[in-house]
Amino acid sequence: MVLFFLAPSAVPLVLFTLVPMVGSLWVSLHEWNLIGTMRWVGLANYAALLSDGDAWRALLNTVLYIAGYLPLVYIGGLGLAVALNRVTRGRDLFRSVYFLPVITSWVVVALMWKWLLNPSEGIVNRLLALMGIEGPGWWTSEEWALPSVILASAWKDLGFVMVILLAGLQAVPRDVLEAARVDGAGAWRRFRDITFPLLTPSTFFVVVISLINGFQVFDQVYVMTGGGPAGASEVVVERVYDLTFRYGRVGDASALSWVLFLVVLIVTVVQVRLQRRWVSYD
Amino acid sequence: MTNRLIYAGLTVVGLVMLGPFIWTFLASTTEGGVVSWPLDPSLAAYGRLLDTMPFWRILINSVMVAVVSTALQVVTSAMAAYAFARLRFQGRDAVFVVYLATLMIPMQVLVVPLFIEMKTFDLVDTYAGLIAPTIASAFGVFFLRQAARQVPRELDEAAVMDGAGHIKIFAFVVLPLMRPALATFAIFAFMASWNAFLWPLVILRSPEFMTLPLGLANLHGQFTTEWDVVMAGSVVSVLPILVVYVLAQRHVIASVARTGLK
């Protein structure tokens, strides 16, 4: 009976998750180009990562991506949620519109923004030119490639964060806020002392999910910049993909993907540990 | 007064969210994609799109793959969820921890060895290879287990009195009561499959097996400078999911909101 209920999920999970997981560890201890024979190198791939400038740059770019993306979606999403929570008419309409990019695939979002941010013919630079500003080269320039990706990503996920935070806000009891107002607490104090503490579980959820997804960012980078120009926007997963399918360095790629996994794991565990200090569930 | 200010702000943000979609549509109907006033609409890009890309085939692939993988995940996850919530067996907690552990392994770590595995099974560039990794979902098991545990046990006890076995209790008592959770999970699974990019990119080669995101990325690789065609491809790949969204949007948004409250 147990087998009947568990086998349909257990067999695929073993075959397509556990086996490749072990396989990935095994490959990361070898030098291999996908076609030829594997050569055992022990931990050399991991050791080589430490002095691999490209890998470090990819990690730095990934961290920079998160550092740009997370404040944008969180502060933007919070602002929208607070505003939407104060109005009644048209709330559902606004919410649906803001959520539209969330259901759109990353590839489509990346292509749309690649055209919007086209340096010479994109609407953004054309509008900037009307205001007398010369727009940057966006995804074609080394300084602006990563910000372009951040902009498109924040635009896509803003609605998601807003919906999560709005749900949290709607759980804030109105009578408590009203009582505080009667006692003479101003809008900022009510937000800081009542609303925000009650929002900490939703905030925690948004931060954990954003960090996990942020470290694994790939689709939009692949489509918008391919990691370029000259590696300026190459993130870790893009590097793993290039190492495997472009340079045939499968061992190095596997080692890098394990390092990424460990980083995500550590960051998530630290978050969960720290949550007791600032997240209140009552 | 402040209310008016709020509405003004909300409307500006609304335009920022809608603008890119409108612009994409306008670009797709303008020769070369460079929209200028007065508008000069033409459907030429859509014609070129259909000439260069087996669009209908790719659309059908996307729908089929999303439906099949969603159905498989819902069934396999619901069954496992029932086992973890209702069956008593040795090592149940240990097995559940292994399920949870697989939840933490990202696709990015698995992609290379999974590709090699598919190569040894001779499944590269096939529907089977595309769908296989999405048969089971540890997230689904975890999510549905919560729902299964909320079904009152008295109901199964009553069914046991009537002589029902586990399969009957699962199918006729627990499953119907889990409907909202099943719908929520199905929406997530469908959107994940519809938008999936990395695995299709790695496993597929032939245009006739491709799903929309991959077909679109390939189109962009082919027509790097013809933005009207690329934008036309974007429009047609957004439309189907947009229709689903308009029909089910309340439920979609409510599902997302609920996951954050947990």
Between A34 and A232, name the one with better pLDDT: A232
What pLDDT is stored for residue B160 in this prediction? 83
Which residue is associated with the tokens 């990819």? A58
Question: A150 is written with which tokens?
Answer: 């951040």
pLDDT 10s digits, A217-245: 999 999 999 988 999 999 999 999 999 88
Lowest mean pLDDT among A121-125, A247-251, A278-282: A278-282
Identity at B221, one-letter amino acid code: G
Domain ranges across chain B: 43-261
Which of A27, A115, A223 to probe by mutation at the B interface, max B CB count within 10 Å?
Answer: A115
Give the domain range for residue A33.
Answer: 2-278
- The number of C-beta contacts closer than 8 angstroms across A and B is 250
User: Is the CB of B6 less than 8 angstroms away from the CB of A155?
Assistant: no
Domains: count for chain A:
1
Question: A216 is written with which tokens?
Answer: 């694994």
Question: B250 is written with which tokens?
Answer: 């309340």
Q: What is the domain-level CATH number for residue A180?
A: 1.10.3720.10
* Residue partners of A150: CB distance under 8 A and separation at least 6: A65, A68, A69, A72
What pLDDT is stored for residue B261 in this prediction? 57
Residue B259: alpha-carbon gap to chain centroid: 16
- Report the alpha-carbon distance of residue B201 to residue B197 in Å, rounded: 6
Residue A249 phi, psi (nearest 5): -105, 70
pLDDT 10s digits, A151-192: 999 999 999 999 999 988 888 888 888 888 888 888 888 888
Which residue is associated with the tokens 């257990």? A10
Question: A136 is written with which tokens?
Answer: 């940057």
Residues β-bridged to residue A31? A39
CA distance to A118, A133, A236, B24, per residue, from A130 (Å): 16, 7, 38, 20
What pLDDT is stored for residue A4 in this prediction? 94
Instruction: Report the candidate in B49, B56, B59 with the shortest Cα–Cα distance to residue B226.
Output: B49
- Report the alpha-carbon distance of residue B168 to residue B156 in Å, rounded: 10
SS3 per residue for A41-87: CCCHHHHHHHCCHHHHHHHHHHHHHHHHHHHHHHHHHHHHHHHHHHC
What pLDDT is stored for residue A36 in this prediction? 84
CA distance A97 to chain B (A): 6
CA distance B173 to chain A (A): 16
Instruction: Report the candidate in A168, A145, A155, A152 with the shortest Cα–Cα distance to residue B261.
Output: A168
Decide if B195 contacts B160 (C-beta within 8 A).
no
Residue B137 phi, psi (nearest 5): -135, 115
Decide if A103 contacts B245 (C-beta within 8 A).
yes
Strand A39-40 relative to strand A30-31: parallel, antiparallel, unpaired?
Answer: antiparallel
Number of neighbouring beta carbons within 10 Å of residue A103: 21
**Half-sphere exposure in the Cβ direction for B158 (13 Å, CA):** 8
- ipTM value, please give it: 0.89
What pLDDT is stored for residue B105 in this prediction? 78
SS3 per residue for chain A: CHHHHHHHHHHHHHHHHHHHHHHHHHHHCEECCCCCCCEECCCHHHHHHHCCHHHHHHHHHHHHHHHHHHHHHHHHHHHHHHHHHHCCCCHHHHHHHHHHHHHCCHHHHHHHHHHHCCCCCCHHHHHHHHCCCCCCCHHHCCCCHHHHHHHHHHHHHHHHHHHHHHHHHHCCCHHHHHHHHHCCCCHHHHHHHHHHHHHHHHHHHHHHHHHHHHHCCCHHHHHHCCCCCCCCCCCHHHHHHHHHHCCCCHHHHHHHHHHHHHHHHHHHHHHHHHHHHHCCCC
Decide if A235 contacts A224 (C-beta within 8 A).
no
Between A210 and B222, name the one with better pLDDT: A210
Number of neighbouring beta carbons within 10 Å of residue A259: 19
Which residue is associated with the tokens 């159905």? B71
- Report the alpha-carbon distance of residue B258 to residue A55 in Å, rounded: 38
Q: What is the mean pLDDT of chain A?
A: 91
CA distance B54 to chain A (A): 18
Question: B195 is written with which tokens?
Answer: 């938008």
Q: What is the mean pLDDT of each run of 10 residues along chain B (262 residues)?
A: 85 94 92 78 87 87 95 96 92 89 79 90 94 93 89 84 88 90 88 91 91 91 84 90 83 77 52
User: Which residues does chain B have within 8 Å of residue A257's beta carbon, measured at their own beta carbons?
Assistant: 108-109, 111-112
Which residue is associated with the tokens 């400078």? B225
Which of A103, A258, A259, A281 to probe by mutation at the B interface, max B CB count within 10 Å?
Answer: A103
User: Which residues does chain B have within 8 Å of residue A11's beta carbon, measured at their own beta carbons?
Assistant: 136
What pLDDT is stored for residue B111 in this prediction? 87
- Among chain B residues, the shortest Cα distance to A92 is held by B250
What pLDDT is stored for residue B222 in this prediction? 83
User: Is the CB of B138 less than 8 angstroms away from the CB of A34?
Assistant: no
Decide if B197 contacts B214 (C-beta within 8 A).
yes
Element (H, E) at B45: helix B44-52
User: Which residues does chain A have within 8 Å of residue B33's beta carbon, measured at their own beta carbons?
Assistant: 115, 121
Instruction: Report the candidate in B70, B47, B16, B30 with the shortest Cα–Cα distance to residue B236.
Output: B47
User: Is the CB of A5 less than 8 angstroms away from the CB of B87?
Assistant: yes
Identity at A95, one-letter amino acid code: R
Decide if A155 contacts A102 (C-beta within 8 A).
no
Instruction: Report the candidate in B127, B172, B118, B246 with the shortest Cα–Cα distance to residue A100.
Output: B246
- Report the alpha-carbon distance of residue A159 to residue A155 in Å, rounded: 8
Cis preceding-peptide flag for B38 (omega within 30 of 0): yes
User: Is the CB of B106 less than 8 angstroms away from the CB of A261?
Assistant: yes
The domain defined by B43-261 folds into MetI-like fold (1.10.3720)
Question: A165 is written with which tokens?
Answer: 């935070």
Section A132-142 average pLDDT: 91
Which of A3, A11, A16, A215 to probe by mutation at the B interface, max B CB count within 10 Å?
Answer: A16
User: Is the CB of B256 less than 8 angstroms away from the CB of A164?
Assistant: yes
CA distance B238 to chain A (A): 6
What pLDDT is stored for residue A234 in this prediction? 95
Burial class (CB in 10 A: 0-12, 13-18, 19+), A15: middle
